[in-house]
Structure 1
Amino acid sequence: MAELKLAKLPDRTPVKLTISVSPDLHRALNQYAALYSEIYGQEEPIAELIPAMLGSFLESDRAFARARQKPQVG
Structure 2
Amino acid sequence: MAKLKLGPIADDKPVKVTLELPASLHRDLTAYAEILAREAGQAAADPVRLIVPMLERFMATDRGFAKARRGKSDA
Q: Does TM-score exceed 0.5, indicating one fold?
A: yes
Gaps of 5+ in 2: 1-12
Gaps of 5+ in 1: 1-12
Which structure has the bigger radius of gyration? 1
* Partner residue, 1:54: 55
Q: CA deviation at 1:14?
A: 5.3
CA RMSD across the alignment: 2.0
* Partner residue, 2:22: 22
- TM-score, structure 1 length as denominator? 0.71
- TM-score, structure 2 length as denominator? 0.70
With CA pairs under 8 Å and 6+ residues apart, which has the higher RCO, 1 or 2? 2
Distance 1:20 1:14 in 2: 18
Contact kept, 8 Å, 2:33 with 2:47, in 1: the verdict is yes
Poorly superposed stretches of 4+, deviation over 4 Å? none
Paired residues, what number? Answer: 61
